[in-house]
Chains A and B, each alone.
Chain A
């Protein structure tokens, strides 16, 4: 018998072949509950979570507001109103003006747009690198593991703040996307190490073994089993990174790197405004408040996603139970 003849080997004499189709009428299946894949189930559970939806809506609204504000705002962020220095909010300057006559509303919107973009994109870049590196190192082990962890350790000992500070002047004038990449490149290492550790334990779990015995290739196993089981940690990490990056960017801008004038970010606005927060609170309150709102919204979305992914959580089921309760009463 050739090695390729594997399916017909046992079929010869006894009808002991698993291929006998199961006798279930074909029509019966269609009337039943339709199975949905995990992606749609997670989506459904996420949508059930009102707080998370509110967070998502807030984020989208903030972003839309920041993007469209130049269309309707009376001033641009780079304009100066030489007739109004350090004015409180009024009809023409909605959030007031700064010491040199800049419109705080226009500046806040511009800063919001920049900061949100930087925060979200950096977090996304960092979590993608961290999960790919961490999961691969943990899953494959051996040389892959050692090589990747060597890179991680190297990047960890390099003073990232200094390197960004040195490189960013060279990027001046280029797109801020490069700045985002640079920030992302130095934000993933610790997460990657944690994810590697979790992968090491997940790798030994029986469901991963089961998938291996089904013939699933490593990338499928990582995508289907390893990453979703680390989702809670990854989501928490993303929400923290968003906030941390916005603040890190502030720090860099303070030393003259990162976002440079006349461009602004929430960080630079808060830095400039905080010195006189008691006498001229409008310089500081609006940008600070928006930062808090944005970070909170990201957190709510993160919590919602985490609950949607986690079958143990009650968040995803809450409304289902409420719905079921009256039905039960009726049954008694």
Chain B
């Protein structure tokens, strides 16, 4: 049998008749535990779910909720010291207890897996084509010749959207970009026409535009193979757009399950509510408070009796601590909607939209920003003024003389300003130069070209003492709070460090450190601990406390929440908003997540290949994006609402970011631009030859005045994509 030839394509699902919805995968009372230092870690504590052929089941949860472990158990890929009990049936066949050899026959042929990190899922020393062919040969036995396998590998790579698949098949994994690698991994997964595909955070390591592409490929793969997909992710937006049913996991158990519409419209578990309320949404501006879920997931070693979510739950009552609630049919919902909460009936009777309800029960309040928003932009002074900033890195030959043969145009003429009390969001895909831009600003060295003014002082003319003084007014918070805190310094010293460098007297430092700890919401008795004793969100709070120690005027935030779980991210974002109002800070907020930017920023600048393509007020840009790149970025962000997701139309970008060492002529975006393809040749010539200048954008309505919105596109047109 050849794998998915044309009739399989015509009839997804093959011989399986859709009427007999016999479950493809049935997991019952699965328990997994690992030996740990302090006792057995019960990573999964009795989870049951089933999956019909052709269905997409989303499993969501915070890190450490057991979602990955439960799927690795299905694959039989857990280490030998793991103790597994319960039952896993694939089309009625019990998988638990099978030997590794027997499982190997099933893995890769009937069950396939797509891992989070596509680089480590591919062997670096074999070509991508060989690896896809290997997947075919291993299970194809003698029936498939090497040449046939190689040919099919190319077809598969073509199917998942790798351009020029025949030539690219001879390439090695390191020659592929992240998105292309993930496509290759998907090609391997569907090579043997599996019944079940398990995708473990398949898009977490990718950029949003690439994420949209990969999700699309996954959808194609499912249509072609008719397989059921288990999609594990922490991103409710991804779930909303792709899954049919959802299981929400917490502390190793399913706490709520149901169809995607039920979960998103009428969640009945406070945890699910909190998760939904904690995500900033692209289609909702500021004004809706984010819901932080306080505390941390419990340790899975010795769980106290009662609901594991109890300590973090706003609806917690004494009865919750008596026994762990069973997963029962939710009151007032379909039979399939199950929830493990004794107070779900009260939630069902509440008459409010999910997110409003979340804000209400979690008592989330929006920060009143009217005081700081009152002044108009023109009345504010620029605290940071970047004009035509350029940063090129030389590319040298490897030889003895290291000749310079070219330059990486990391930042190529970037102009923006940040006014007092204002937040500018700087967004773009990885590699677009946003990090280089802020490093150039923070370096306070004379730039290669252009100018940087901090608080009115040009950095090119700074003396050493000036520079040190300016450092007091401009601080940075890095992306990864673990990496940016010295693991060997206790919190007191970490927070005190900037003050010690600036030579503050010891008594003042001793007073100020507890003050700062309180300001960022940490208890001051935690002061003598090392950073590894804190959770991710708390560490980021320490970073913020350190940045605020010198009472700066500008805070540069480099993706400050992208390394955090959503529930914790909400807390940090709320804190940043509150601090901005209380201390009158200006933020330069670098992010790739536009929904976060929408929530926190006043203005947004979209960067592409070292240039700003669109800049303006958040409401203007999000409501009426005019650059095709902005439109694509916006449309790639999933909205955590299945109804909206179904209605939305995606602007999919093709390909990856071109190399900044050799940017395209004219408009840099033209190689991926959907608008460019639609133009006739004479108009295309303008894109190829002329670089579009940044000019005031079209008014939203004819004749209206455009206040604060600039775009760099020859053929800018408004297209609502949110």
Q: Interface 1/0s, chain A 20-50, versus B by CB < 8 A?
A: 1110101011001111111001000000000
A35 to B549, CA, bound (A): 15
- A16-B553, A18-B552 given; A207·B524 CB < 8 A: no
A174 interfacial by beta-carbon distance below 8 Å = no
Q: Which of A15, A22, A205, A224 has a CB less than 8 Å from the CB of B519?
A: A22
How many residues from A make CB contacts under 8 Å with B?
A: 51
B515 interfacial by beta-carbon distance below 8 Å = yes
A14 interfacial by beta-carbon distance below 8 Å = yes
A209 to B487, CA, bound (A): 14
A224 to B528, CA, bound (A): 17
A29 to B532, CA, bound (A): 24
- A15-B584, A309-B488 given; A3·B462 CB < 8 A: yes
Cβ-defined contact, B420 with A35, below 8 A: no
A32 to B551, CA, bound (A): 22
Main secondary structure on chain A at its contact with chain B?
Answer: loop
- A6-B456, A7-B469, A20-B582 given; A214·B525 CB < 8 A: no
B319 to chain A, nearest CB (A): 18
Cβ-defined contact, A14 with B457, below 8 A: no
Contacts of A1 in B (CB 8 A): 456-457
Cβ-defined contact, A20 with B583, below 8 A: yes
Cβ-defined contact, B501 with A215, below 8 A: yes
Cβ-defined contact, B488 with A18, below 8 A: no
Contacts of A327 in B (CB 8 A): none
A312 to B458, CA, bound (A): 44
A3 to B492, CA, bound (A): 34
Cβ-defined contact, A35 with B421, below 8 A: no
B224 to chain A, nearest CB (A): 43
Cβ-defined contact, A220 with B478, below 8 A: no
Cβ-defined contact, B372 with A18, below 8 A: no
Cβ-defined contact, A10 with B478, below 8 A: no
Q: Interface 1/0s, chain B 513-529, versus A by CB < 8 A?
A: 11110110000110110
Cβ-defined contact, A224 with B489, below 8 A: yes
Q: Interface 1/0s, chain A 146-165, versus B by CB < 8 A?
A: 00000000000000000000
Among B421, B456, B511, B527, which residue has the most Cβ atoms of chain A within 10 A? B456
A28 to B515, CA, bound (A): 9
Interface-side segment among A60-68, A225-233, A283-291: A225-233
Q: Which of B473, B478, B501, B582 has a CB less than 8 Å from the CB of A206?
A: B478
- A22-B519, A37-B493 given; A10·B383 CB < 8 A: yes
A130 to B457, CA, bound (A): 42
B380 interfacial by beta-carbon distance below 8 Å = yes
Q: Which of A10, A32, A225, A229 has a CB less than 8 Å from the CB of B514?
A: A32
Cβ-defined contact, A14 with B528, below 8 A: no
Cβ-defined contact, A14 with B455, below 8 A: no
- A35-B514, A35-B527 given; A215·B486 CB < 8 A: no
A140 to chain B, nearest CB (A): 17
Closest to B519 in A: A22
Cβ-defined contact, A24 with B518, below 8 A: yes
Contacts of A229 in B (CB 8 A): 486-488
Cβ-defined contact, A26 with B584, below 8 A: no
B298 to chain A, nearest CB (A): 14
A36 to B514, CA, bound (A): 12
A328 to B585, CA, bound (A): 42
A312 to B533, CA, bound (A): 9
A280 to B476, CA, bound (A): 71
Closest to B489 in A: A38
A220 to B546, CA, bound (A): 17
Q: Which of A16, A28, A32 has a CB less than 8 Å from the CB of B525?
A: A32
Contacts of A228 in B (CB 8 A): 486, 488-489
Contacts of A214 in B (CB 8 A): 471, 475, 497-498, 501
Which B465-505 residues have a C-beta within 8 angstroms of A? 466-471, 473, 475-476, 478, 480, 483-493, 496-498, 501-502
- A9-B381, A32-B525, A33-B528 given; A210·B476 CB < 8 A: yes
Cβ-defined contact, B497 with A211, below 8 A: yes
Q: Which of A3, A38, A209, A225 has a CB less than 8 Å from the CB of B463?
A: A3
A213 to B486, CA, bound (A): 14
Range, interface on chain B: 35 or more
Cβ-defined contact, B486 with A9, below 8 A: no
Cβ-defined contact, B462 with A312, below 8 A: no
Q: Interface 1/0s, chain B 437-461, versus A by CB < 8 A?
A: 0000010000000000011111001
Q: Which of B483, B490, B511, B519 has a CB less than 8 Å from the CB of A38?
A: B490
Contacts of A205 in B (CB 8 A): 483
B375 interfacial by beta-carbon distance below 8 Å = yes
A15 to B372, CA, bound (A): 9
A236 interfacial by beta-carbon distance below 8 Å = no
A323 interfacial by beta-carbon distance below 8 Å = no
A206 to B439, CA, bound (A): 12
A7 to B474, CA, bound (A): 11
Contacts of B568 in A (CB 8 A): none
B510 interfacial by beta-carbon distance below 8 Å = yes
B365 to chain A, nearest CB (A): 18
A329 interfacial by beta-carbon distance below 8 Å = no
B586 interfacial by beta-carbon distance below 8 Å = yes
Cβ-defined contact, A3 with B528, below 8 A: no
A278 to B556, CA, bound (A): 74
Which B22-60 residues have a C-beta within 8 angstroms of A? none
A18 to chain B, nearest CB (A): 4
Contacts of A14 in B (CB 8 A): 375, 379-381, 420-421, 584
A9 to B454, CA, bound (A): 9
Cβ-defined contact, B488 with A213, below 8 A: no
B321 to chain A, nearest CB (A): 11
A135 to chain B, nearest CB (A): 15
Cβ-defined contact, B584 with A35, below 8 A: no
B141 to chain A, nearest CB (A): 47
A279 interfacial by beta-carbon distance below 8 Å = no
Cβ-defined contact, B383 with A36, below 8 A: no
Contacts of B582 in A (CB 8 A): 20, 22
Contacts of B4 in A (CB 8 A): none
Q: Which of B485, B496, B515, B531 has a CB less than 8 Å from the CB of A29?
A: B515
Contacts of B470 in A (CB 8 A): 6
A29 to B513, CA, bound (A): 9
Cβ-defined contact, A4 with B466, below 8 A: yes
A300 to B548, CA, bound (A): 41
Contacts of A210 in B (CB 8 A): 476, 478, 484, 546
Contacts of A310 in B (CB 8 A): 488
A186 to B513, CA, bound (A): 45
**Can you report 6 residue pairs joining A to B where beta carbons are below 8 Å apart?**
A5-B456, A7-B473, A10-B383, A37-B493, A231-B488, A311-B488
Q: Given A10-B456, A18-B552, A24-B514, 15 other A-B contacts at CB below 8 A?
A: A14-B375, A16-B584, A16-B586, A17-B420, A22-B519, A24-B518, A29-B524, A32-B527, A33-B525, A35-B491, A207-B485, A207-B486, A220-B501, A311-B488, A312-B487
> Which 10 pairs from chain A and chain B are nearest by CB?
A311-B530, A35-B492, A16-B420, A9-B456, A16-B421, A16-B584, A206-B484, A215-B471, A32-B524, A33-B525
